[in-house]
A and B are shown apart, each in its own frame.
Chain A
Amino acid sequence: MAGLITDPNMTDPDGFYEDLVSAHRGLSDAESAALNSRLVLLLANHVGDSSVLAAALEAAVNTGSATGR
């Protein structure tokens, strides 16, 4: 996974997580999904490098769900 940072890298991980959950508060499933997709697009542009984006996409696809079936 060339270039994708998977070790801790956020300046305020707990704060970010709290903000992310708060942003979804009161939203319908559809509104939440739309918010997430806007966020993905904004972050993807910030990352920019297509190999990092491909690695992130692959990591997300391959991780599956923690509460899995």
Chain B
Amino acid sequence: MPTAQVLDSHTYPHFDFRTPPELSGTEAARHEVVIVGGGPVGLAAALDLARRGRRCVVLNGADTVSVGSRAICWAKRSIEICDRLGFGDRIVEKGITWKDGRVFVGDENIYNFDLLPEQGHRFPAFVNLQQYYFEEFAVARVQNEPLIDLRWQSRVTGVAQDGDAVTLTVETPDGVYTLTADYVLAADGVRSAVRRALDLEFSGKVFEDRFLIADVKMKADFPTERWFWFDPPFNPGQSALLHRQADDVWRIDLQLGWDADPDEERKPENVIPRIRRMLGPDADFDLEWVSVYTFQCRRLEKFRHGRILFIGDSAHQVSPFGARGGNGGLQDADNLIWKLDLVMRGSAPESLLDSYDDERIFAGDENIANSTRSTDFITPKSPASKMLRDSVLALAKQYPFARRLVNSGRLSLPAVLSNSPLNTPDSAAFLGPMRPGAPCLDAPVTVADGSAGWLLRQLGDGFTLLGFGAAASALTEDGFAEAMRAGPVPVAILAVSDDPVALGDPDGLASERYDARDGALYLIRPDQHVAARWRTVDPAAILTALRRACGLADT
């Protein structure tokens, strides 16, 4: 369990408790959605609901944003999600953009990696930004959003549900109240009060090792890369990680071993000499935040429990190597909210929510598998495992093949939901990564007035048909839009072609990434994952795929 010590260079905003209707004696409404937890995942869920015109209450037990840097690496897919929610650019502007990593064995740099070697994407592979900034930017959006009722200093202490509603008990500075909702999203983190109130098993693997996180403030001219050491001279026999964040704050992560005493190790008088050994005797730095922690990789058996849905760390926990916690959680919210909206609208059956379980348990297991493999490589559990790990490191100095086996963290990529029941299997041959279930790749486009734009920016909050070439012209023919009105939900139409009213593909990258040389049509879900694709335009096939993507396959 992490214990933090803050040495206060960030000024945390304070948010007042405001008496809610439930305590002021006015008649309290039944709420459509209540989100428990106001971290990155809960706030993203709230903003997504608001974009769909839905009200929600967000309960945050604290009176400020995340204390301490905590999650710092925001993956490209997360920034794309935040961009749709209205604060992607702020993350990039404030954060530190990076895509390169270096791996050292001892003091020798054995290899480097590049997480986004190609051009033509609006957002970079990763941006490092302290979690408190992420939350401040999200809260700023929430405060401009009248549909979201964000309640600070409001802690959930009890949960009950029947087939019809969920009732939460909320403790506040002014007393306790109950509140009733159609749906509750539990975004309340690894120690989820909702999960504990329901007494749900949260099982998995504990790693018997301790790590020290020290965020330090310093002026340094290290490049903006992720540096990882196995067995460095300043931390012999263990690992180390150095990563830059905003405001000249640097994340240092030092493996301590299982025998380390967490209470001793987090004392500044013990932390500072460790950091000095790493940075050199002349380094000028201040401690910003310190935490000693152990890892666990575990998840709930199901993420949906009736009208309660678990998103983020409340549902699944991973080790930090790979940045798969926060990034995975944002994809949970992205996956769930459009489904919840369609169910509440009556456009989709309640069973569509089970596809959240199918898809995000699959993704959660992928994150857990990657995180477990990295952790097993970084902290080998047996003499044989350590022998193999050290052999890989020894070979990696000379042989390129072994560098691919070195695992200092496989950094978060969005899950490809290949086996989702919402997908329609291909009926034509395609090349490239954009298969059903894949998250859409970005590409530069020109918009109608001729100015430069980005493909993902053109996708709205609903379903989209994206046509290329001959398929694009068929989408604009008379009667096509009319035919689409027979579907369960509206579908936006986007065409990429030479037609002046369509999106232009100036570098050919969109056509290349979507294998659209011979014309192509993609049905894209509200969360920007591919639901189906074709070479030709057949309205009946499109409507069938659309119904399937809305969970209406059997009706």
Binding site for B on A (CB under 8 A): 30, 33-34, 37-38, 41-42, 45
Contacts and interface: CB of A to CB of B under 8 A. Distances in A.
B206 interface: no
Nearest to B390: A34
B397 to A, nearest CB: 12
Contacts of A34: 387, 390-391, 394
B394 A38 contact: yes
A30 B387 CA distance: 9
B390 A42 contact: no
Nearest to B391: A37
Contacts of B388: 37, 41
Contacts of A30: 387
Interface of B: 384, 387-388, 390-392, 394-395, 399, 401-402, 405
Kindly list the 10 A-B residue pairs having the minimum CB-CB distance in the complex, ordered from nearest: A37-B391, A45-B401, A38-B391, A37-B388, A37-B387, A33-B387, A41-B391, A41-B395, A38-B395, A34-B387
A50 B399 CA distance: 20
User: Residue among B384, B390, B391, B392 with the most chain A CB within 10 A?
Assistant: B391
Contacts of B390: 34
A37 B380 CA distance: 15
B395 A42 contact: yes
A38 B287 CA distance: 41
B382 to A, nearest CB: 12
Contacts, number: 24
A43 to B, nearest CB: 11
Contacts of A45: 399, 401-402
A45 to B, nearest CB: 4
A42 to B, nearest CB: 7
B387 A41 contact: no
A34 B399 CA distance: 16
Contacts of A37: 387-388, 391
Contacts of A38: 391, 394-395
Contacts of B405: 41
A34 B393 CA distance: 12
A49 B249 CA distance: 44
A67 B366 CA distance: 41
Contacts of B391: 34, 37-38, 41
A38 to B, nearest CB: 5
B377 to A, nearest CB: 13
Contacts of B401: 45
Contacts of B392: 41
Given A37-B387, A42-B399, 18 more contacts: A30-B387, A33-B384, A34-B387, A34-B390, A34-B394, A37-B388, A38-B391, A38-B394, A38-B395, A41-B388, A41-B391, A41-B392, A41-B395, A41-B402, A41-B405, A42-B395, A45-B399, A45-B402
A42 B405 CA distance: 11
A41 B399 CA distance: 11
Interface centre among B384, B388, B390 (most CB of A within 10 A): B388
12 contacts: A30-B387, A34-B387, A34-B390, A38-B394, A38-B395, A41-B391, A41-B392, A41-B395, A41-B405, A42-B395, A42-B399, A45-B399
A34 B313 CA distance: 39
A42 B402 CA distance: 8
Contacts of B384: 33
Contacts of A33: 384, 387
A47 B501 CA distance: 53
B44 to A, nearest CB: 37
A45 B402 CA distance: 8
B406 to A, nearest CB: 11
Nearest to B389: A37
A33 B388 CA distance: 9
Contacts of A42: 395, 399
A22 to B, nearest CB: 20
Nearest to B405: A41
A42 B395 CA distance: 8
A55 to B, nearest CB: 19
A30 B384 CA distance: 10
A31 to B, nearest CB: 11
A41 B387 CA distance: 12
A60 B178 CA distance: 61
A69 B17 CA distance: 71
A37 B401 CA distance: 15
Contacts of B387: 30, 33-34, 37
Nearest to B394: A38
A42 B384 CA distance: 17
A16 B111 CA distance: 32
A30 to B, nearest CB: 8
A45 B392 CA distance: 12
A38 B399 CA distance: 11
A45 B405 CA distance: 10
A38 B391 CA distance: 5
